[in-house]
């Protein structure tokens, strides 16, 4: 099952500048694994070694924020990766 | 002074090279603009190789490696990371890779990295793949050793490899103390006797100290120097008790600071950059008058070196990785970078100083490359 992933600017060095990419997977965890297969290193910048979403990263499936990486993803869904940071 | 200087900053990496015919310095970069670069270290075994510890505000920590003296960089295939925690275990994650040390000269491609929270990692392939050093990271006493984090997190730094023995290692945790391994990192023991820890309830605690920078002398590796949160120290092994050589500093200056730099061959000579550690710890130049101090007798006496530095109203802060020497004795060049984005060069072992770069972002590290 293939979905669309929207890549934020800090991670586009991994996708050769692509803003949206296709990824496979029936859950967010599988989508992230699919991204890692295509863009080596990208997952660890978003998710730590304990499989927790990093503090300044937010993941959404369509309009819904993801707290659990086992959240299902459908073929018409878009996974948004959001970078959230403030200050200088 | 002909070395190249790598400058790690809060907003990227910069390079300073001597200008044509030794005139001035040429700044290039930034590389990795916007990345938080804590350390850039050249491999003395393969001088074309550099390793850089980096992250960004949003993204997790990683390591980059160059095999062409910094012209191009490639991200580590497997950056430093703790092992996956078991159900009842503390689930630690590397927040930043803070420190890099090349391994022993006989172990080509071996590197060590220190992280926050305090973790030790080892690569055996030139920085491509990093493994946690379980002997330290999973040591049953590690949670007590690194119990008190600073606002910036507890930091593992000052990884030193005995040039005579690749299995003999030292490291430091801020706060936590100095620790030693004689079996390649499988076992560790505290090494803090004699160091003050005036912030701890037990003045004779075996650990919990705050070493800011610890260096093993490269040509006399039984001699260690330490700039601590509570003074400057020297240790001559096999002794286990540090001697407070900072007591010989002028009382108005004190012996608090972050970096300590050693002469490449003379084990009696070292340089420090004192900072204000009174009351609320401003950590700036004492009285707004920056100076480097040098000992040439193992810490029995210190000489102020401030020619060329601002004489007043200069409130500099120099972090622990932000001072180095070019190792080119006898006319050794010293360098330091400030959190205000200036780089200063001290000719002839710091006898006279001049500013060689300004307007850079907050400087975290200054390292020399041949």
**pTM value?**
0.96
- Which residues is B113 bridged to in the sheet? B100, B121
Is the CB of A41 less than 8 angstroms away from the CB of B75? yes
**Residue that is written with structure tokens 């010989």 in the block:** B248
Q: Which domain holds residue A14?
A: 2-83
Task: Identify the pLDDT of residue A84.
Answer: 85
Whether B90 contacts chain A with CB within 8 A: no
What distances in angstroms separate CA B241 from CA B108, B191, B271, one per listed residue?
Answer: 33, 8, 21
Whether residue A88 lies inside any domain: the answer is no
Q: Which of B248, B247, B249, B269 is nearest to B260 (CA)?
A: B269
What distances in angstroms separate CA B35 from CA B170, B244, B307, B361, one per listed residue?
Answer: 29, 38, 34, 11
Judge whether B307 and B349 are in contact, CB under 8 Å. no
Is the CB of B81 less than 8 angstroms away from the CB of A54? no
Is the CB of B91 less than 8 angstroms away from the CB of A41? no
Q: Which of A40, A45, A51 sits opposite B60 (nearest CB)?
A: A45
Q: Which residues of A touch B85 (CB under 8 A)?
A: 50
Task: Provide the 3-class DSSP secondary structure of residue B20.
Answer: helix
Task: Identify the pLDDT of residue A88.
Answer: 82
Q: Which of B35, B36, B58 to mutate to test the interface with A (most CBs of A within 10 A)?
A: B58
Whether B82 contacts chain A with CB within 8 A: yes
Judge whether A31 and A73 are in contact, CB under 8 Å. yes
Q: What is the mean pLDDT of each run of 10 residues along chain B (370 residues)?
A: 86 95 90 97 97 95 97 97 94 97 97 98 98 97 87 92 98 97 98 95 92 98 98 98 98 97 97 95 96 98 98 98 93 96 97 97 96
Q: Which residues of B touch A46 (CB under 8 A)?
A: 59-60
How many structural domains compose chain A?
1
Is the CB of A85 less than 8 angstroms away from the CB of B59? no
Whether residue A64 lies inside any domain: the answer is yes
Whether residue A72 lies inside any domain: the answer is yes
Torsion of CA B68, B6, B59, B142, to 10 degrees: 110
Is the CB of A85 less than 8 angstroms away from the CB of B58? yes
- What is the domain-level CATH number for residue A45? 3.10.20.30
Is the CB of A48 less than 8 angstroms away from the CB of B83? no
Is the CB of A49 less than 8 angstroms away from the CB of B56? no
Q: Which of B77, B83, B93 sits opposite A48 (nearest CB)?
A: B93
Q: Which of B75, B77, B93 sits opposite A50 (nearest CB)?
A: B93
Q: Is pLDDT of A1 > 80?
A: no
Whether residue A38 lies inside any domain: the answer is yes
**In the structure encoding, which two tokens stand for residue B330, read together?**
């006898």
Is the CB of A41 less than 8 angstroms away from the CB of B84? no
Q: What is the average per-residue pLDDT within A1-7?
A: 93
Task: Identify the pLDDT of residue B1.
Answer: 46
Distance CA B23, CA A79 (A): 54
Distance CA B188, CA B190 (A): 7
Task: Identify the pLDDT of residue B351.
Answer: 97
């Amino acid at each position: 099952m293939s979905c669309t992933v929207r890549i934020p600017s800090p991670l586009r060095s991994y996708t050769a500048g692509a803003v949206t990419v296709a990824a496979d997977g029936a859950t967010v965890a599988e989508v992230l694994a699919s991204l890692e297969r295509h863009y080596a290193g990208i997952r660890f910048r978003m998710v730590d070694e304990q499989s927790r979403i990093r503090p300044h990263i937010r993941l959404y499936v369509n309009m819904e924020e993801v707290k659990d990486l086992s959240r299902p993803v459908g073929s018409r869904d878009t996974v948004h990766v959001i970078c959230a940071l403030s200050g200088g | 002074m002909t070395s190249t200087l790598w400058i790690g900053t809060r907003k990227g990496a910069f390079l300073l090279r001597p200008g044509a015919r030794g005139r001035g310095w040429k700044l290039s970069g930034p590389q990795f603009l916007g990345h938080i670069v804590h350390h850039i270290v050249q491999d003395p075994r393969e001088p074309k190789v550099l390793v850089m510890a980096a992250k960004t505000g949003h993204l997790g920590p990683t390591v980059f490696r160059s095999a062409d003296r910094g012209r191009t960089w490639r991200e580590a295939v497997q950056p430093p990371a703790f092992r996956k925690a078991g159900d009842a275990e503390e689930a630690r994650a590397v927040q930043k890779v803070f420190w890099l040390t090349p391994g022993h000269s006989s172990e080509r491609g071996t590197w060590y990295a220190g992280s926050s929270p305090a973790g030790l990692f080892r690569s055996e392939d030139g920085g491509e793949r990093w493994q946690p050093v379980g002997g330290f990271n999973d040591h049953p006493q590690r949670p007590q050793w690194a119990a008190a984090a600073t606002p910036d997190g507890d930091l593992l730094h000052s990884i030193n490899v005995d040039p005579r023995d690749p299995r003999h290692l030292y490291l430091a945790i801020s706060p936590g103390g100095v620790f030693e391994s004689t079996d390649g990192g499988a076992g560790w023991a505290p090494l803090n006797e004699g160091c003050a820890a005036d912030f701890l309830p037990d003045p004779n605690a075996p650990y919990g100290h705050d070493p800011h920078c610890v260096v093993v002398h490269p040509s006399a590796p039984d001699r260690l120097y330490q700039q601590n949160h509570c003074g400057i120290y020297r240790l001559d092994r096999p002794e286990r008790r540090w001697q407070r050589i900072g007591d010989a500093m002028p009382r108005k200056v004190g012996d608090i600071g972050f970096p300590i730099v050693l002469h490449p061959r003379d084990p009696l000579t070292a340089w420090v950059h004192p900072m204000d550690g009174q009351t609320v710890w401003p950590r700036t130049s004492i009285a707004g008058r920056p100076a480097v101090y040098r000992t040439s007798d193992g810490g029995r006496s210190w000489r102020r070196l401030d020619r060329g530095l601002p004489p007043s109203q200069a409130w500099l802060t120099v972090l622990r990785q932000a001072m180095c020497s070019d190792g080119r004795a006898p006319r050794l060049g010293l360098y330091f970078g400030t959190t205000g984005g200036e780089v200063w060069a001290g000719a002839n072992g710091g006898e006279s100083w001049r500013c060689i770069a300004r307007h850079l972002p907050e400087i975290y590290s200054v390292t020399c490359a041949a």
